[in-house]
Amino acid sequence: MNTLLTNANDSAQSDVATNYEGGQTFNRSLREQVVQALCVGRFGDTFYASKLRLEEEALEVLGKARVSDPEFLARAIVYGREKGFLKDSPITGLAILSGGGAKAKPLFEKIFNRVIQTPDDLRKFVTLCKSGTVPGVKTLGGYRRSAVKEWVSTLSGYHAVKYGSRASKGFTLQDIVSLTHPETEDAAVAERLGWLKRGRKALGSNRKLNPQIRAAEALKLVDDGQVAISLIRSGKLPAEFVIPASTKMTTAIWRELLHNAPIFNLLRNLVTFTRHDVFKEDAEIAYAVERLTNVKAIEHSKILPFRFFDAWKKYVLVEGNDSRIADALRTAANLSFVNMPTLGGRTVAIGSDVSGSMGCPVSPKGQTQFIDIAGIFTGAILRQIEGRAIPLPFQSRVIEGHGLSGHDDVLVTAEKVSRLLGGGTALGAPIQHLLDRKIFADVFVGITDNEDWAYGSGHHCHESFLELWRKYRAKVNPKAQAFVIQIAPYKHAVAPTNEPGVHFIYGWSDTVVRYIPFILEGGASQVQEVEGMSLDNGGNQGRSGGHDHAQADA
């Protein structure tokens, strides 16, 4: 769950400032900024700020917390990893915490295994520590090295095979083993660590040890497709190893990889499977559909909803796509919001930001844009509260004739919203629309990058969000509550911390929208939830010796 929810109970002072476009903004408390940095982490260029500036701002916030509030920082790092389903930002936070000296040591040791869940996480952490870019961290020495050494000393066979490539960019698992010299009395672990460093030569005479590694080595030598399939099946070999290692990739081998794929791997490789004729058989289509629409599998995978949209957009464009799989992706997106509450019969106005700046990609590695996430959230809320929702897509003014409907699937709504992209940002525009028409709404939900500036003289929107919101509560509904869901990494806010009836939520996951009814019923803020987290449970929580849980990243 990628969220930061704040309310009037947070006693931190807010300072008036200006945002990137010169509009009025309000600085949030340090604790809020910490949770935001760890839950909406995105280290790439955006419309308003460069990658370098965003990185500097995030490092500054987390560095301040390391000095003044290290225990809260530790809790927020775990929160971002376990509830936000992100990797890069929490791992960066962990590296920063590790530079806090003796005061940080016990906190670092408590949360290390909760943040570092796969060898890929470990490689990212080691790379950061060795890069010299993290303030106060210049090497992998001290308790950092000890934690990495202990983690590697329990490496599973599956992880060794999946992540053990010598061609990996940056620090490889082999490099980490050489750096830390892990020690173990477990013969199987000792053998697989030796295999990482010396390859086949390290395998001993006991063939019962490390069957996955032995199957992996055997696969490199065979050119018979049926033998290869038998090895993949018996060794449960992941695609990450099979594809570069197999001497001849046949449709039958691709079909075996389909049946061996965790759901996130399946989602990412639907286009690849299609191009290799895996879905020529109805049985394989049926298998993929069942996997993609399995409620428990979706919940267990922790896949962020926008990943289904991204997969759907790519899949429907590939030659040979099948409507049954496309429909399954639409169903999966709806299922990812299956537990969203109905907001108790309240009337809800939904302000979806479609301004030009929302066209920035969520990740430098992907194609999904901020506007796609806004559309997904809009679709989920519309479906859940059909008949009580007032959709108000906006840029510098509210766009009418948009065709948004609660009858549509989430992905259909997301596509409709994405077509509206363009214009300046005026978060007050939907409030002015409600105010001018005296439309009664219990709740306003704004889904935005929060860079409010297109208001005042010369603009369609007459005043700022804050000024218009205060007028709306005074003239239409004094009990109205506004929830601003910020899906961009900008640090700015459109209201001060203690503003009555204004709450901030940061993030991309399905749980974001669930916090709206939670706070309406008097629940604590997200900062307060982080404050109450325990660091004493889940020492190895999230670590898996078998198939990885999908950990979606920004």
Average pLDDT, integer, range 226-251: 93
At 21 the pLDDT is 65
What the block records as the tokens of 198 is: 């010396």
Write the pLDDT tens digit of every residue in 526-547. 788 889 999 986 544 456 554 4
Is residue 204 included in any domain, yes or no? no
Flag whether pLDDT at 179 surpasses 70: yes
Percent of the chain residues topping a pLDDT of 70: 90
Tell me the average pLDDT of the chain: 88
At 176 the pLDDT is 96
Is residue 488 included in any domain, yes or no? yes
At 20 the pLDDT is 63
Is residue 93 included in any domain, yes or no? no
First to last CA, the chain: 12
Integer Cα distance of 66 and 72 in angstroms: 9
What the block records as the tokens of 361 is: 């990609």
What the block records as the tokens of 181 is: 């010299």
Integer Cα distance of 485 and 506 in angstroms: 6
At 56 the pLDDT is 83
Integer Cα distance of 129 and 131 in angstroms: 6
Integer Cα distance of 381 and 371 in angstroms: 15
At 51 the pLDDT is 60
Is residue 515 included in any domain, yes or no? yes
- Which strand (E) or helix (H) includes residue 24? strand 24-26
The domain in which residue 480 lies consists of: 343-526
At 12 the pLDDT is 38
Total tally of structural domains belonging to the chain: 1
At 552 the pLDDT is 41
Average pLDDT, integer, range 153-173: 91
Integer Cα distance of 270 and 522 in angstroms: 43
Is residue 131 included in any domain, yes or no? no
Q: What's 504's domain CATH number?
A: 3.40.50.410
User: What is the greatest pairwise CA distance in the chain?
Assistant: 82
Average pLDDT, integer, range 195-218: 95
Q: Is the dihedral of CA 463, 465, 466, 472 positive or negative?
A: positive
The larger pLDDT score, comparing residue 448 to residue 498, is at 448
Flag whether pLDDT at 8 surpasses 50: no
Write the pLDDT tens digit of every residue in 278-305. 999 999 999 999 999 999 988 888 887 8
The larger pLDDT score, comparing residue 524 to residue 82, is at 82
Flag whether pLDDT at 7 surpasses 80: no
Average pLDDT, integer, range 64-78: 97
pTM: 0.87
At 47 the pLDDT is 45
Q: How many other β-carbons are positioned within 10 Å of the β-carbon of residue 437?
A: 9
Q: How many other β-carbons are positioned within 10 Å of the β-carbon of residue 224?
A: 11
Integer Cα distance of 472 and 439 in angstroms: 10
Is residue 423 included in any domain, yes or no? yes
At 492 the pLDDT is 75
Percent of the chain residues topping a pLDDT of 90: 65
Residues 73, 34: contact at Cβ < 8 Å?
yes
Is residue 415 included in any domain, yes or no? yes
Write the pLDDT tens digit of every residue in 308-348. 988 998 999 999 999 999 999 999 998 888 767 778 889 99
- In 146-196, the DSSP E strands lie at none
Is residue 328 included in any domain, yes or no? no
The larger pLDDT score, comparing residue 9 to residue 331, is at 331
Q: How confident is the model at residue 397 (pLDDT cuts 50, 70, 90)?
A: very high
Give the type of residue at 247.
T
At 400 the pLDDT is 93
Flag whether pLDDT at 523 surpasses 90: no
Write the pLDDT tens digit of every residue in 208-217. 999 999 999 9
Integer Cα distance of 137 and 139 in angstroms: 6
At 19 the pLDDT is 63
Which residue has tokens 């945002």?
A: 19
Integer Cα distance of 36 and 61 in angstroms: 10
Q: How far is CA 528 from the centre of its chain?
A: 21
Q: How confident is the model at residue 50 (pLDDT cuts 50, 70, 90)?
A: low
At 247 the pLDDT is 81
Flag whether pLDDT at 435 surpasses 80: yes
